[in-house]
């Protein structure tokens, strides 16, 4: 072993002399004070002393010890506290040798809100702050949207906002197509509507048989009473209910509530499949590709994944795993503490639970094989891209920028990100154009604003470029003018080592004849059948789609915005009274003070406030 490697062991051995036997967390740092690894220990002295030994380590651990120049320690009261602190530090610091869950989005739920006399059925994502019954998680927005669509056919619960509910004077389209019972216009009384709500809750709790039996009994009764239209409506509801059940695929009989977490590891790359089972129904699955810490094994990967995955999610009563984790008792204790109730983890060997895990492992294996194949193709494209544009090497992070507006209105900028794993959608960003460039339809000015805001923030948050958020290549939708504008911004900020390429349509704006513009080089083109051209077109089209979507959303919001929503003190009831009296928000804005006083429920003080609001704006 060479001197540097021995120095690593010796440095660690010096720290061991200072440690006691309490639980805690340790950090290993390199000569540049970069955190290499964060670990937990039941007994800090015993755990760290293992690294001081000169042999018996895996190649990964040996490399880590080789690079270690210093260590930091935090003692904790309990082992469980050490585990939770370890995972928080890993997510915060992203050390090179730790396993890290890269995609940690929240999952959608179905919410039956109870903050209104007529509860609303809707999709919910994020913290569960609203009062109501939550059902989930669902694996994707598509899965929850499909289920919501079918539930509306079956249970006829409203999906409109409370404000829209209050303002209705006649049934909406949802009622006409038999997807809502019409409580807003008293087509169903409150008791009848709450019966529908209870049926929906019973179904989402897994009591599907009783719900279906009740509907079948009601259909038979309607048929006998020769109420054929009602019988047909009930028949359609039963059919929709059956479609929901069949779309859910695997519906285990013996597992009421569990997450199935399965790992497949191949050549240092990992895929974890998570299947969500609630109320004896499968609510979909999602695949994850955690960073494996330069070669961690299955027990460490799965333990890190489980503790990080449930960091901001409610764990179910049972978690079924494909492999044992390193510290099952600690993991169970941490999850139980987080949930406020008992949580069990298990590695089933036989029976239906083992079949569920086996199915998840198969999905993980197939997903990883597809991803590795796609990654190989993507890496070839990135190398070809580097060759085509004379880059120093294949870019690991490409940022693509585009603007969208209509004659300067509702101007927005969009940024998409791509790398070795394809599009990185969690890194996409939207920018509302704040300067006069938007209103003036100044594309160059908009691009300058976009790049200034983006790189000023990068320089402030990550000046040493350790986070992986710095791009290797900028693709700009536009020609020489846009590239020059961007280059000017970068020069002002002192960022001159990021390559940039402008992508402009050719003379006849024909896709396939794009011209590429770079600072200090003549415009160039690629052959029509060049894979790099197709790749750049895909990137440019994705940026265009993203920016246009942001623009449409902003424009739609501005079109439907009601000026009355901005008036202080005007809630749903007063807004409804004003609209009923004047007919439109524009008429309210033009109304004289005596006319406002004539509206029921509008006091002299409120009338003055409304009048001042609109006339001060003019």
Crossing angle for the helix pair 208-224 and 228-247, nearest 10 degrees? 160
Q: Is the pLDDT of residue 508 over 60?
A: no
Q: Is the pLDDT of residue 471 over 70?
A: yes
Mean predicted confidence (pLDDT) in 291-317: 92
| CA atoms of 168 and 174, how far apart (whole Å) | 12
Q: DSSP string of 369-409?
A: HHHHHHHHHHHHHHHHHHHHTT-SS--SEEEEEEEEEETTE
pLDDT of 486-507, one tens digit each?
999 999 999 989 999 999 876 5
Q: Does domain 3-97 have CATH number 3.40.50.970?
A: no
Report cis status (omega within 30 of 0) of the bond before 537: no
Q: Is the pLDDT of residue 202 over 50?
A: yes
Domains 257-367 and 397-558 share a fold: yes
**Parallel/antiparallel/unpaired status of strands 473-477 and 499-504:** parallel
Mean predicted confidence (pLDDT) in 560-581: 78
Least confident of 5-9, 179-183, 257-261, 587-591: 5-9
Q: Which CATH number fits domain 397-558: 3.40.50.620, 3.30.1330.10, 3.30.420.340, 3.40.640.10?
A: 3.30.420.340
SS (H, E, C) 531-550: HHHHHHHHHHHHHHHHHHHH
Global pTM?
0.73
Which of 363, 421, 439, 476 has the alpha carbon at shortest distance from 102?
A: 421
Percent of the chain with pLDDT over 90: 50
Which of 273, 277, 282, 275 has the alpha carbon at shortest distance from 248?
A: 282
Q: Specify whether the CB–CB gap between 192 and 157 falls below 8 A.
A: no
Q: In 10 A of CB 237, how many CB atoms?
A: 22
User: For residue 553, which phi and psi values (nearest 5 degrees)?
Assistant: -60, -45
3-state secondary structure (DSSP) of residue 23? coil
CATH code assigned to 563-617: 1.10.150.20
| CA atoms of 150 and 513, how far apart (whole Å) | 46
pLDDT of 314-344, one tens digit each?
899 999 999 999 999 999 999 999 899 999 9
Q: In 10 A of CB 230, how many CB atoms?
A: 15
* Of residues 528 and 233, more confidently modeled: 528
**Domains in the chain: boundaries:** 3-97, 109-247, 257-367, 397-558, 563-617
Q: Is the pLDDT of residue 211 over 60?
A: yes
**What b/e sequence results for 511-530 when a residue is b if at least 16 CB atoms lie within 10 Å of its CB, and e otherwise?**
eeebbbbbbeeeeeebeeee
Mean predicted confidence (pLDDT) in 125-130: 86
Q: What is the enclosing helix (H) or strand (E) of 280? A: none
Q: Specify whether the CB–CB gap between 414 and 429 falls below 8 A.
A: yes
Count CA within 13 A, CB hemisphere, residue 517.
17
257-367 topology per CATH: Nucleotidyltransferase; domain 5 (3.30.420)
| CA atoms of 139 and 227, how far apart (whole Å) | 40
């Amino acid at each position: 072993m060479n001197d540097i490697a021995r120095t690593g062991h010796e440095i660690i051995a010096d720290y061991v002399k200072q440690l006691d036997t309490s639980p805690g967390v340790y950090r290993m740092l390199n000569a540049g004070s970069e955190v290499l690894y964060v670990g937990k220990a039941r007994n800090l002295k015993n755990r760290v002393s293992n690294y001081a030994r000169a042999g018996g380590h895996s190649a990964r651990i040996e490399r880590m010890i080789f690079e270690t120049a210093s260590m930091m320690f935090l003692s904790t009261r309990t082992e469980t506290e050490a585990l939770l602190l370890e995972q928080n530090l890993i997510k915060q610091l992203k050390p090179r040798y730790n396993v890290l869950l890269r995609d940690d989005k929240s999952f959608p739920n179905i919410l039956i809100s109870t903050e209104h006399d007529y509860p609303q059925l809707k999709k919910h994502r994020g913290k569960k702050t609203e009062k109501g019954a939550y059902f989930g998680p669902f694996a994707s927005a598509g899965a929850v949207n499909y289920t919501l669509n079918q539930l509306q056919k079956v249970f006829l619960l409203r999906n409109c906002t409370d404000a829209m509910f209050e303002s209705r004077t006649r049934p909406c389209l949802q009622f006409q197509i038999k997807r809502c019972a019409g409580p807003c216009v008293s087509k169903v009384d409150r008791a009848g509507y709450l019966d529908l709500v209870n049926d929906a809750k019973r179904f989402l709790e897994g009591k599907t048989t009783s719900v279906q039996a009740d509907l079948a009994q009601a259909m038979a009764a309607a048929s006998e009473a020769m109420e054929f239209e009602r019988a047909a409506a009930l028949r359609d509801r039963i059919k929709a209910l059956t479609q929901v059940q069949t779309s859910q695929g695997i519906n285990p009989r013996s597992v009421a509530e569990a997450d199935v977490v399965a790992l497949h590891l191949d050549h240092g790359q990992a895929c974890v499949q998570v299947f969500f089972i609630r109320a004896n129904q499968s609510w979909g699955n999602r695949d994850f590709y955690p960073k494996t810490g330069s070669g961690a094994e299955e027990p460490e990967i799965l333990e890190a994944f489980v503790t990080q995955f449930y960091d901001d999610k409610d764990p179910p009563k049972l978690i079924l795993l494909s492999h044992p984790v390193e510290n099952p008792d600690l993991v169970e204790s941490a999850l139980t503490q987080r949930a406020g109730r008992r949580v069990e983890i298990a590695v089933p060997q036989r029976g239906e639970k083992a079949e569920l895990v086996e199915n998840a492992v198969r999905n993980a294996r197939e997903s990883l094989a597809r991803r590795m194949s796609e990654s190989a193709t993507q890496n070839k494209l990135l190398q070809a891209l580097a060759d085509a544009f004379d880059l120093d090497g294949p870019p690991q992070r490409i940022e693509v920028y585009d603007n969208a507006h209509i004659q300067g209105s509702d101007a927005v900028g969009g940024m998409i990100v791509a790398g070795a794993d394809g599009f990185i959608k969690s890194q996409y960003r939207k920018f509302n154009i704040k300067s006069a460039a938007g209103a003036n339809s100044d594309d160059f000015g908009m691009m300058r604003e976009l790049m200034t805001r983006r790189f000023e923030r990068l320089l402030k948050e990550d000046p040493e470029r350790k986070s992986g958020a710095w791009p290797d290549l900028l693709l700009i939708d536009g020609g020489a003018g846009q590239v020059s504008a961007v280059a000017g911004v970068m020069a002002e900020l002192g960022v001159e080592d990021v390559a940039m390429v402008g992508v402009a349509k050719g003379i006849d704006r024909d896709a396939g004849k794009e011209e590429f513009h770079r600072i200090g080089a003549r415009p160039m083109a690629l052959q029509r059948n060049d894979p790099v051209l197709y790749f750049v077109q895909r990137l440019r089209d994705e940026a265009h789609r993203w920016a246009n979507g942001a623009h449409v959303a902003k424009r739609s919001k501005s079109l439907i915005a009601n000026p009355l929503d901005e008036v202080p003190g005007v809630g749903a009831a007063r807004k409804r009274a004003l609209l009923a009296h004047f007919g439109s928000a524009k008429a309210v804005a033009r109304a004289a003070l005596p006319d406002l006083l004539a509206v029921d429920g509008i006091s002299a003080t409120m009338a003055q406030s409304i009048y001042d609001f609109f006339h001060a704006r003019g």
